[in-house]
Amino acid sequence: MLVVGVSPGRVWWAMLERTASNPYVFGEVLYKATGLALCGLAVALALDAGLFNIGAEGQLTAGVLACSTLGAALPAGTPAIVAIPLCLAAAAAAGAAVGALIGGLRATRGAHEVITSIMLNAIIAGVALWIGNELVFRNGTTRGDTIAPGARLSPLGLGGSAANASLVIAIVAIAVMWWLRERTTWGRAWRAVGQEPEAARSVGISVERVQTLVMAGSGALVGLAAANFVMGDKHAFEEGLGRGTGLLGISVALLGRTHPIGVGVAAVLLGFLSAAGLEVGDLVPKELTEMLQGVVVLAVAAAGPWVASRAQVTA
Amino acid sequence: MFALGLVVALAGAYFLYELRLESVGLVADFERWLYGGLVLVAIGAAVCAAGVLGDRRWLIVAAAAAAAVLPIAIIEVVWRPDLLVGVVSIAFVLQALKIAIPLALAALGGAVTERAGVVDLALEAKLLFGAFTAAAIGHWTDSVYLGVLGGIGAGIVVAAVQLVFALRLRADQVIVGVALNLLALGGTRFLLQLMYGESSNSPGAPAFGDAVFGNPVFWIAVTAAIVVPLAMQRTRWGVRLRAAGDRPEALVAVGVSPSRARLAAGLVGGALAGAGGAQISLSVGGFSADMSSGRGYIAIAMVILAGWRPGWAALVCVGIGAAGALNIQLQVTGSSIPRELAPLLPYVLTLVVLVVAGGKGRRPPGSLGRI
């Protein structure tokens, strides 16, 4: 920021102040945080089980495609009580299918999940574009038919921002993931598989099954993030919708130390950086605030171990 | 196994032998015979090798060769025999190499860094900053060579930042990689804005154009593909970097710092990936935002696929290049495969190879990511 001659303090202050005082900015922060929290939870779940889900990007696209296609296919008069669960289920199922494929290949064939994820990201992006061009996009645009009104998640009414009811989904997901992870034998099983797969196997846990199920669950969470974009905001399939959220989800999961509540906090932090960063465009170029996200993630990543080592010295 | 391979290879050889009839006009479609013969010889040789050496990895090679060729042959030859004329041409090979250069360099760099025990998800950042710096310096000095040097320098700088965070500050290596990729995406756009007043394209830089043999980066890639695997086996640098990756405590025991070995490895890795970045921008004579378009991620997948062996990783990338060139060929000749799907061929193949061969062969370096 010094390069463009604006004091960093002033920019940070402006970002904070505009978020606090302007409901639109506040809402945009929440909107971004919703998607990031769900993707972060997904990556965290996989990491807990010792798997690196770098495929959230592809699972997100699959979720967006499934959710918007079903939403557009529903008759216009479908009541919300039917349409919303159906579309959420479609998004989650599509994400889960991709996740289960990755997990299943890892479990049965030993195929490294990082390679299969990256390959599937590329494949799904291409296939989605193809399906879009062939079937969905209207009149040379990169946007498909609008989904049925009943399938829309209502906006939270924060100054016309995109924040919507899927924020509730994200909060519930955080709570459920916390409960599963800390309080149930399932959570114990998947963390045992992550930490000591051989020990887990010897106490009768099927490592292969856990890996497949965890990746399916991870994909389902990503699919719900897709619902945030489709049902809460754009109401249609758009080329590149939500792109980048899956990769940022990795940072969110790791910054939150894979703990669901930590993930929530990290999601708000990164959501703040990307949404509020756009709102200080009058002070600094928006490219700078894009860059800032990387800088902050780096700084937080380095700060953790540093604080830990200090704590050891003083103890 | 050996006998089976021999039969296939002999059949291929017979195809090639029949080519002598071409001069008297008995074989009409020369290219098809040549192509089929070469492929059969290759598959047969690989199967033979599997039998003789008792090493199942050669079967993977055979499966890959078959998988790469058969579906295309079946789908395309039925409708478009003329396509093969393009495939066996010199231009096709050059095109494949050209596509493979940045991928292979990034994969070589990634293999070196990861073998030393540092997770290298920052390849994308190295490619992107390398591409930007090469274009900027190329534009400023009007020299391709200085541009390439700039790209290499940028790769080294990104690697240095990555290693400071990973080794010195002990930050999580995966986060550092992802963060640097983010930083590169925003940072190159910011620098474009700052230096040239627009955020998507740089002004023109000197370009290699379609030249392959006249392209310095090509020779860097070829040299690296030969020298890096050798250096890893034979030199002190290589032995230390492998020890740092597999048994850092052994290095400590002989009084060598694993961190220093990792630094020595990582900076070389950064230089290689940076050179790959230079190829991306200088081949078209300019930088545009996000022009690495995920190639860093593909490269790291290829490193894992190749079992962290640099030479193999580079070779696999040449395979991806061949698939890319085939795709261009399909576009030129007109094809029944939709244009959105054709570029996915290498990724589908990678999945097929993984599923057929399984990924259980090679283990990652022992201390990867655990510094």
Largest CA distance in chain B: 72
Question: Residue A31 to residues A158, A307, B332: CA-CA distances in angstroms?
Answer: 10, 31, 44
Q: Tokens 């770098």 appear where?
A: A54
The interface predicted TM-score of the complex, written ipTM, equals 0.78
Contact B250, B130 (CB under 8 A): no
Which of B298, B343, B355 lies at the smallest CB-CB distance from A126?
Answer: B343
DSSP state of B214: T
Q: Which of B99, B81, B2 is nearest to B36 (CA)?
A: B81
CB A93 within 8 A of CB A62: no
**Higher-pLDDT residue of A298, A309:** A298
Q: For residues B291 and B233, give the distance between their C-alpha atoms in angstroms, rounded to a whole number.
A: 34
The nearest CA of chain B is from the CA of A94 a distance in Å of: 19
Q: Which of B126, B176, B190, B356 would you mutate first to test chain A, the one with the most A CBs within 10 A?
A: B190
> How far is the alpha carbon of A134 from chain B, nearest alpha carbon, in Å?
9
Query: What confidence tens digit (pLDDT) does each residue in A235-262 have?
Result: 888 888 888 888 889 889 988 888 999 9
Residue B193 to residue A287, Cβ atoms within 8 A:
yes
Per-residue tokens: A105: 């290949």
The predicted model scores a pTM of 0.78
| Contact (CB, 8 A) for A137 and A2 | no
CB A272 within 8 A of CB A296: no
Residue of B nearest to A134 (CA): B338
B201: helix, strand or coil? strand
Which tokens sit at B244?
Answer: 């740092």
pLDDT in tens, B11-59: 666 655 555 554 444 444 555 555 666 666 666 666 666 655 555 566 6
Q: How far is B129 from chain A (nearest CA, A)?
A: 13
Calpha distance A215→B126 (Å, rounded): 30
Put simply, the answer to whether A298 touches B183 (Cβ < 8 Å) is yes
Contact across the interface for A126 and B341, Cβ inside 8 Å:
yes
Q: Are A118 and B297 in contact (CB < 8 Å)?
A: yes
% of chain A with per-residue pLDDT over 90? 36
Amino acid at site B21: L
pLDDT for B200-259, tens place per residue? 888 888 877 767 777 888 999 999 999 999 999 999 999 999 999 888 888 889 888 889
In A, minimum Cα distance to B361 occurs at: A110
Size of interface A-B (CB pairs under 8 A): 154
Contact between A294 and B184 under an 8 Å Cβ cutoff? The reply is: yes
- What pLDDT shows up at residue B23? 44
**Residue of A52, A106, A251 lying closest to B175 (CB–CB):** A251
Confidence at residue B228, expressed as pLDDT on a 0 to 100 scale:
94
Contact B186 A292 (CB under 8 A): yes
How far apart (Å, rounded) are the C-alpha atoms in residues A10 and B118? 37
- Residues B113/B265, Cβ–Cβ less than 8 Å: yes
Which of B131, B90, B83, B107 is CA-nearest to residue B328?
Answer: B83
The owner of tokens 């950086």 is A273
Helical spans, DSSP H, in B80-120: 83-87, 90-115
Residue range A9-43, pLDDT digits in tens: 777 888 888 888 888 889 999 999 999 999 999 99
Sequence-distant (6+) residues with CB within 8 A of A313 are: none
Q: Inter-chain contact B354–A115, Cβ cutoff 8 Å? A: yes
Domain A2-314: give its CATH code.
Answer: 1.10.3470
Buried b / exposed e along B15-33 (16+ C-beta atoms within 10 A):
beeeeeeeeeeebeeebbb
- Interface list for chain B against chain A, based on CB atoms closer than 8 Å: 165, 169-172, 174-176, 178-187, 189-190, 192-194, 199, 294, 297-298, 300-301, 304-305, 338, 340-341, 343-344, 347-348, 350-351, 354-355, 358-360
Q: What is the pLDDT of residue B277?
A: 95
CA distances (Å), origin A208, targets A117, A161, A215, B169: 17, 43, 11, 35
Of the candidates A123, A133, A254, the beta carbon closest to that of B172 is on A254
Shortest CA distance from B194: residue in chain A: A4
**Cβ–Cβ under 8 Å, residues B314 and B104:** yes
A284, A290, A292, A307: best mutation site toward chain B, by most B Cβ within 10 Å? A290
- Of all residues in chain A, the one with the smallest CA distance to B185 is A291
What's at B321, amino acid-wise? G
Helix and strand tally (H, E) in chain B? 15, 0
Give contacts of B355 with chain A, Cβ < 8 Å: 105, 109, 111
Cβ contact B174–A250 (<8 Å): yes
What pLDDT band is residue A296 in, cutting at 50, 70 and 90?
confident
* 3-class secondary structure per residue, chain A: CHHHCCCHHHHHHHHHHHHHHCHHHHHHHHHHHHHHHHHHHHHHHHHHCCCCCCCHHHHHHHHHHHHHHHHHHCCCCCCHHHHHHHHHHHHHHHHHHHHHHHHHHHHHHCCCHHHHHHHHHHHHHHHHHHHHHHHHCCCCCCEEEECCHHHCCCECCCCCCCCECHHHHHHHHHHHHHHHHHHCHHHHHHHHHHHCHHHHHHCCCCHHHHHHHHHHHHHHHHHHHHHHHHHHHHCEEECCCCCCHHHHHHHHHHHCCCCHHHHHHHHHHHHHHHHHHHCCCCCCCHHHHHHHHHHHHHHHHHHHHHHHHHHHHHC
Alpha-carbon torsion (B314, B315, B321, B327), positive or negative:
negative
Alpha-carbon distance A267 to B92, whole Å?
Answer: 47
Is the Cβ pair B184, A122 closer than 8 Å?
no
Domain range summary for chain A, segments of one domain joined by +: 2-314
- CB-based contact B169 A134, cutoff 8 Å: no
CA-nearest residue to B297 within chain A is: A118
Q: Classify the phi-psi angles of B170: left when phi > 0, otherwise alpha if psi is within -120 to 50, otherwise beta.
A: left
Is A290–B193 a contact, with Cβ atoms under 8 angstroms apart? no
Q: What pLDDT shows up at residue B30?
A: 53
What is the separation, in whole angstroms, between the first and last Cα of chain A?
37
pLDDT tens across the length of chain B (371 residues): 666 666 666 666 665 555 555 444 444 455 555 566 666 666 666 666 665 555 556 666 666 666 666 655 555 555 555 555 555 567 778 888 888 999 999 999 999 999 999 989 899 999 999 999 999 999 999 888 999 999 999 999 999 999 999 888 888 888 888 889 889 988 998 898 888 888 788 888 887 776 777 788 899 999 999 999 999 999 999 999 999 988 888 888 988 888 999 999 999 999 999 999 999 999 888 898 888 888 898 898 888 888 889 998 998 898 888 888 877 777 776 666 677 777 787 788 777 777 776 555 556 777 777 65
Compare B33 and A131 and report the one with higher pLDDT. A131
Q: Among B98, B90, B124, which Cα is nearest to B222's? A: B98
Structure tokens at B232: 């890893």
Of B183, B297, B359, Cβ closest to residue A294: B183
Q: What is the pLDDT of residues A152-184, one digit of tens each?
A: 888 887 777 888 888 999 999 999 999 999 999
Give the distance from residue B310's alpha carbon to the nearest chain A alpha carbon, in angstroms. Answer: 16
Question: CB–CB of A118 and B301 under 8 A?
Answer: yes
Residues of B in contact with A54 (CB under 8 A): 297
